[in-house]
């Protein structure tokens, strides 16, 4: 009952602020549609995404192939639908992993301070100094291109970002009187961190999560574009752009449409992130 009431309260308040901003609704709507499409790929896709059909290659969009076909005669729409699925799976899993470890490292560093803080954040800074794409390249080049390696690469590049995001509000919360009051109540550090500080930094993490989700999707596409992503013939958005690139002047649909879908995913995730930030930030809440 207590937990339910709390959720309901936090829910309504967050919902109210979220609701004030129409663009965040647009982001949520768009992202949900794309997610739904990815989820229902086996039902929605009109053709097998990997089946080649040389006779029908590079067909322009028509009633038979809504978004045309690519160099190997595969239906672009079907490949986009399946490609979305790959993007979302890789994006959300890598963000999830990064958020989990990043939060642990960051809040531990922030709460404990001292040498542990220097050690953890030093390692994070080193990781962060390597550009995301370069790090992705490095890991995929070492471990070889596959879905799992791509997720590892993306997660590794995002962990320091989440560590930073978790550390700053942890330090801010640590110096609040209520944490001191918790210590005066004799609660253990673990309990203070998990029960009292974590709910206070969750908002920041959610915002970063949705914004980095967009970056993860983008990076995955970029790596696939240079041929270091998921192996062909699996349909990925970045891979489709690459394959269609050589015919871009004669058959622009093969790379243009997957590019547009990447744009849509990134755009909607960013809109959602901004809306969430406004809704979860207590300072903005009080102003309204």
Partner 1 sequence: MEYVLEVKNLSTAFKLRSGWYPATCDISFSLKPNETLAIVGESGCGKSVTAFSLMGLLPKHGSRIDSGTALFKGEDLLTMPKDKLRKIRGSAMTMIFQEPMTSLNPVLTVGSQIAEAVYYHRGGGKAAAKKRALQLMDMVKIPAPESRYNDYPHHLSGGMCQRIMIAMSLACEPDLVFADEPTTALDVTIQAQMLYLLHELKQKQQMSMIFITHDLGVVAHVADRVAVMYAGNIVETAPVAELFANPRHPYTQALLKSIPRLDRDNRDIAPIQGMVPAIDKMPGGCRFYSRCRKQTQCRPDEFPQLKALKDSQDHLDRCLLNE
Q: Where on the chain is the footprint of partner 1 (CB under 8 A)?
A: 2, 5-6, 9-10, 113-114, 176-178, 180-188, 191, 195-196, 199-200, 282
Nearer to partner 1, 10 or 30 (CB): 10
Task: Report d(CA 236, CA 79) in Å as an integer.
Answer: 7
In the complex, what is the shortest distance from the CB of residue 8 to partner 1, in angstroms, rounded to a whole number? 9
The contacts found for 186-193 with CB under 8 angstroms, 24 or more apart, are 189/111, 192/111, 193/107, 193/108, 193/111
Name which of 182 and 221 has its Cβ closer to partner 1. 182
Closer residue to partner 1 (CB): 4 or 249:
4
Instruction: Report the C-alpha gap between 64 and 76 in whole angstroms.
Output: 11
Could you tell me how far CA 223 lies from the centroid of its own chain?
15
Q: How far is the CB of 288 from partner 1 (least distance, A)?
A: 14
- Rounded CA-CA distance 159/20 in Å is 32
Instruction: Report the C-alpha gap between 239 and 255 in whole angstroms.
Output: 9
* Smallest gap from residue 131 Cβ to partner 1 (A): 35
How crowded is residue 271: how many other Cβ atoms within 10 Å of its Cβ?
Answer: 22
Closest to partner 1 by CB, 1 or 43: 1
For 180, other C-beta atoms within 10 Å of its C-beta total: 12
CB of 141 or CB of 195, closer to partner 1: 195
Tokens of 279: 């809704």
Scanning the structure block, which residue is given the tokens 């890789």? 90
261, 233, 259, 263: which is closest to 71 by C-alpha? 233
Query: Whole-number minimum distance, CB 193 to partner 1, in Å?
Result: 13
C-alpha pair distances (Å), 164 with each of 126, 161, 173, 245: 13, 5, 14, 38
- Nearer residue to partner 1 within complex by CB, 6 or 246: 6
For the CB of residue 141, give the shortest distance to partner 1 in the complex, in Å: 43
Rounded to a whole number of angstroms, the minimum distance from the CB of residue 114 to partner 1 is 7
- Contact predicate 158/216, CB 8 Å: yes
Q: Give residues with Cβ within 8 angstroms of 112, minimum separation 6.
A: none
**Quick one: 57 or 285, whose CB is closer to partner 1?**
285
| Minimum CB distance to partner 1, residue 286 (Å) | 9
């Amino acid at each position: 009952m207590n937990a339910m009431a709390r959720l309901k309260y936090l829910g309504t308040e967050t919902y109210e602020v979220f609701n004030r901003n129409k663009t965040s609704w647009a982001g949520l709507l768009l992202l949900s549609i794309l997610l739904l499409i990815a989820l229902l790929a086996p039902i929605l896709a009109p053709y097998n995404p990997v089946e080649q059909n040389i006779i029908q290659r590079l067909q322009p969009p028509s009633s038979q192939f809504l978004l045309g076909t690519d160099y190997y005669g595969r239906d672009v729409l079907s490949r986009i639908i399946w490609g979305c699925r790959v993007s979302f799976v890789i994006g959300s899993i890598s963000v999830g992993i990064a958020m989990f470890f990043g939060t642990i490292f960051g809040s531990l560093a922030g709460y404990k301070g001292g040498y542990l803080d220097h050690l953890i954040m030093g390692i994070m800074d080193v990781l962060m100094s390597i550009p995301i794409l370069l790090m992705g390249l490095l890991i995929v080049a070492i471990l070889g291109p596959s879905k799992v390696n791509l997720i590892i690469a993306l997660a590794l590049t995002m962990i320091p970002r989440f560590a930073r995001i978790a550390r700053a509000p942890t330090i801010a919360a640590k110096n609040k009187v209520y944490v001191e009051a918790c210590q005066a109540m004799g609660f253990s550090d673990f309990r203070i961190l998990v029960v009292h500080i974590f709910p206070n930094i969750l908002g920041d993490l959610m915002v970063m999560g949705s914004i980095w989700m967009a970056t993860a999707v983008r990076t995955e596409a970029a790596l696939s574009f240079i041929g270091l992503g998921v192996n062909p013939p699996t349909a990925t958005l970045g891979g489709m752009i690459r394959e269609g690139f050589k015919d871009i002047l004669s058959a622009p649909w093969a790379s243009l449409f997957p590019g547009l879908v990447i744009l849509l995913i990134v755009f909607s995730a960013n809109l959602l992130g901004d809306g969430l930030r406004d809704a979860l930030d207590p300072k903005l809440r009080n102003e309204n």
